[in-house]
Amino acid sequence: MSSEKDYAVQFVAREQAELRVVDRDPTPLAPDEIAGSSIVTLISAGTESTGSYPSEGNFPRGSGYAAVFEVESVGEAIDDIKAGDHIFCMGNHQSYQRVKRDAALLLPEGLAPETGVFARLMNVSLTTLTTTTARPPERVVVTGLGIVGNLASQNFTNAGYEVFACEPIESRRKVAIECGLKNVLSTVPVDDPDIAGTVGLVIDCSGHEQAALDGCNVVRKKGEVVLIATPWRRYTEMYAHTILHAIFHKYVVVRSGWEWELPNQPTEFRTNSIYGNLAAGLRWLAAGKMSVAPLATKISPRDPQTVYQNLLHRRSERLTYIFDWTNL
């Protein structure tokens, strides 16, 4: 028996992306599953264009982990979701989604899919917001204003922190200002006596070792430097001693910004969870607390190669792209 056909963006060789026809899973839905047609998926510019797209081996492979779809069918055990509902999930760039109920979040009423899908990349820094020892109204420095850093700056501003958003690339600073961020700087203010030594938390979203060192030099004693971005490659000739010296003499707490240190679902005696934070992100988006329209260009998935080349070589006007699966 032949299965129905869908479309998926796949990496088919190093730096080669195609929209391909794929077989739909023909097995009946499990009682706790939901399925339907994708409306939008969001590209994680760092992970996908810098990490997966240029890497070798294991072809073809899918990509993406942020989707909103319209429900078409539900398992028999599900009574709180119906056909026509819009669902957020961590789905790939594909025209059809199928997920377990506990991996699906209903979009708040009135929230546009192209807005709600940003909850996924908000969530990267919401883990840090949950776990940091810094408390509002402390000062926070964010280094790197790609999509994750921009959203981190907005997250911490919404939570009551005084945020300084730092980015050497002018076009990204312009996007940050367009999003309403106030303290947008070209460099980390390590030489500003009014800021250096007063910062409770630095969030590095650049993966650049100089940013990590600057973070260690701008925090207060016992301040945190949280490394969210993947250090994809070496950028400087810095010696390890330089950063160790700063850590030791400033009593800095340097740690990973690993998003998945939280449990997937709410758990007794644990603060927050991945899906709890995702739900909070959807609420913030629905309440208009986040400015995401300037962050992405909405485009058909018909030509993913051009999209990923634009991101890889920083030729895009915005920070990332949204694939519009209603425009195949």
91-133 residue pLDDT tens: 999 999 999 999 999 999 999 999 999 999 999 999 999 999 9
For the record, the structure tokens of 40 come out as: 């939008």
Give the list of residues 6+ apart from residue 6 with CB closer than 8 angstroms, or none: 21, 22, 23, 24, 94, 95, 96
For the record, the structure tokens of 154 come out as: 């907005």
Q: How many residues does the chain have?
A: 328
pLDDT recorded at residue 71: 99
Q: Give 168-185 as a DSSP string.
A: S-HHHHHHHHHTT-SEEE
pLDDT recorded at residue 11: 96
Does the domain at residues 122-261 carry the CATH identifier 3.40.1190.20?
A: no
pLDDT recorded at residue 267: 86
Q: Give 266-294 as a DSSP string.
A: --TTS---HHHHHHHHHHHHHTT-S--GG
Please check whether the two domains, 5-118+292-324 and 122-261, share a CATH topology.
no
pLDDT recorded at residue 3: 67
Regions of the chain where pLDDT drops below 50: 1
pLDDT recorded at residue 266: 87
CATH of domain 5-118+292-324: 3.90.180.10
Q: Per-residue pLDDT tens for 187-216?
A: 999 999 999 999 999 999 999 999 999 999
pLDDT recorded at residue 1: 42
Do 217 and 190 touch, CB atoms closer than 8 A?
A: yes
Residue spans per domain, the chain: 5-118+292-324, 122-261
Query: CA-CA distances (angstroms) from residue 116 to 87, 104, 119?
Result: 9, 13, 6
